[in-house]
């Protein structure tokens, strides 16, 4: 069986804790590898190595660090086929989707190549009598990222690229469900010229996370994952005096106005709701048609579109999406489908029980569609994180806008309309972090993702 090592001080290290986690092939349900789970002592060693390496890396001028990032960019591009296949084999997303995962991460590496300009300071003459003021952008030291299973290339690159370009060392604790791509990216960074120890990859569970949160030499933490753990990371990191960015759950809405182009709306939402098996924090799992006529027409079209989706193994070039990541997650999603039935929502398409010939033990769930979902239902309130689309009907735009505004997860919302005034008023009034106008998946542009990293707190 294949072993997945830590990547410490420029080399693979199996680990000494004696603890391992199983890494499954979601297409078959079989164990394909085991990953070492670090002890507290091993994390301490990784941090100590990073501290030692960071000093020299920070002294290197920004132009030289940018050249390393340029070389890293080129190596990712040269190895994208290998990375995509490796990613899809552990996550389950289809290869085309895996390529998108890598591309979105690569865009932040490209952004980091411009770090010499971004690190320019400011000078204010005459801030006081005989006083001039300089501001300088300097690295924090050693920073860390804790990343989720659903984007094993994009999110590690989003977190690490700018932090490294700014002169920090970076400790990455990726998901133990699909850990191979982060290790391979670290190998490519070393090949690109990154000094040994500047990028460390430590696999582990809560024991490793707790060490990172407490360790005095970790100056900042970035986290993406479930809301419960995001709260824990934020609280613990702040308790120990760290700068913390913790991003949790989402329940994004798509508001469909009567004047919207329904054919385009259905095309957009079917991809946003079911793509990557719904395992995206910026998926669009709630559709809100305004008016009964709009709702009925949308439901009719959506049933046909969802039925037309092909669920397949991750290497099937014709598949629209593949399996979910694990047996436990499959069971969780299916439990929410049953909960929706029990709560009284109208189940129009049931994705449970999907079996693919030759892959009967794979973690597959077919497209699932609910109509007449009510805001009081737990299935609406919670993030399901699977290929499940819920339709909540609204009578007016005001009612529709109140749904994402009042939801616990005010992450993103989209409105589909041809009316510029309605779009403008909606965007101004809805109380949600990101608003899309006829855009179904709201993902930040790399420059906005990385803006914080260009300043002194160099963790995106």
- The residues annotated with a catalytic role in the active site are 281
Nearest by Cα to 104 from 457, 452, 444, 453: 444
CA-CA distance, 185 to 203, in Å (whole number)? Answer: 14
19-22 contact pairs (CB < 8 A, 24+): 21/176, 21/203, 21/205
Q: 134 pairs with which residues across the strands? A: 123
Which three-class secondary structure state does DSSP give residue 164? helix
Query: In 285-367, where do the E strands start and end?
Result: 286-289, 346-349
CA-CA distance, 87 to 238, in Å (whole number)? Answer: 33
Nearest 5°: phi and psi at 102? -65, -40
Mention every residue, 6+ apart, whose C-beta is less than 8 A from residue 411: 249, 250, 251, 252, 281, 282, 432, 433, 434
- Give CA angle at 446 (445, 451), nearest 5°: 105
Q: 128 pairs with which residues across the strands? A: 131
> 402-420 burial by CB neighbour count: b if 16+ within 10 A, else e?
bbbeebebbbbbbbbbeee
Q: Which two tokens stand for residue 61?
A: 């001028």
Q: Please say whether the beta carbons of 275 and 321 come within 8 A.
A: yes
- Residues written for the chain: 460
């Amino acid at each position: 069986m294949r072993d997945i090592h830590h990547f410490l001080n420029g080399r693979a290290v199996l680990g000494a804790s004696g603890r391992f986690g199983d890494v499954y092939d979601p297409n078959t349900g079989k164990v394909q590898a085991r990953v070492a789970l670090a002890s507290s002592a091993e994390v301490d060693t990784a941090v100590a190595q990073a501290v030692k390496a960071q000093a020299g890396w920070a002294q290197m001028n920004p132009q030289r660090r940018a050249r390393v990032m340029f070389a890293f960019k080129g190596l990712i591009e040269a190895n994208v086929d290998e990375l995509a296949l490796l990613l899809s084999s552990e996550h389950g997303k289809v290869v085309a989707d895996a390529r998108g995962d890598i591309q979105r991460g690569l865009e932040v590496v490209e952004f980091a190549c411009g770090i010499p300009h971004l690190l320019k300071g400011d000078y204010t003459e005459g801030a006081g009598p005989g006083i001039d003021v300089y501001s300088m952008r300097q690295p924090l030291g050693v920073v860390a990222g804790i990343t989720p299973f659903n984007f094993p290339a994009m999110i590690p690159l989003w977190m690490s690229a700018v932090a490294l370009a700014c002169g920090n060392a970076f400790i990455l604790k990726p998901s133990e469900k699909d850990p191979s791509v982060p290790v391979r990216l670290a190998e490519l960074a070393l090949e690109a010229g990154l000094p040994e120890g500047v990028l460390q990859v430590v696999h582990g569970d809560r024991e490793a996370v707790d060490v990172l949160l407490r360790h005095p030499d970790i100056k900042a933490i970035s986290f993406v994952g479930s809301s419960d753990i995001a709260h824990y990371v934020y609280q613990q990191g702040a308790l120990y005096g760290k700068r913390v960015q913790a991003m949790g759950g989402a329940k994004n809405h798509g508001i469909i106005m009567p004047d919207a182009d329904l054919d385009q709306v259905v095309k957009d939402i079917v991809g946003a709701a079911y793509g990557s098996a719904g395992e995206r924090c910026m998926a669009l799992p709630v559709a809100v048609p305004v008016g009964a006529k709009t709702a009925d027409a949308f439901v009719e079209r959506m049933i046909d579109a969802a039925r037309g989706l092909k669920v397949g193994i991750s290497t099937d070039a014709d598949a629209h999406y593949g399996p979910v990541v694990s047996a436990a997650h499959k069971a969780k999603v299916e439990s929410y489908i049953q909960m929706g039935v029990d709560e009284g929502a109208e189940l129009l398409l049931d994705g449970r029980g999907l079996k693919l010939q030759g892959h009967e033990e794979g973690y597959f769930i077919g497209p699932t569609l609910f109509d007449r979902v009510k805001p009081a239902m737990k299935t609406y309130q919670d993030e399901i994180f699977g290929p499940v689309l819920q339709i909540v009907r609204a009578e007016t735009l005001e009612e529709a806008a109140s749904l994402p505004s009042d939801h616990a997860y005010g992450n993103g919302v989209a409105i589909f309309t041809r009316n510029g005034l309605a779009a403008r008023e909606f965007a101004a009034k809805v109380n949600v972090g990101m608003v899309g106008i006829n855009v179904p998946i709201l993902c930040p542009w790399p420059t906005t993702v990385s803006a914080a990293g260009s300043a002194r707190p160099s963790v995106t």
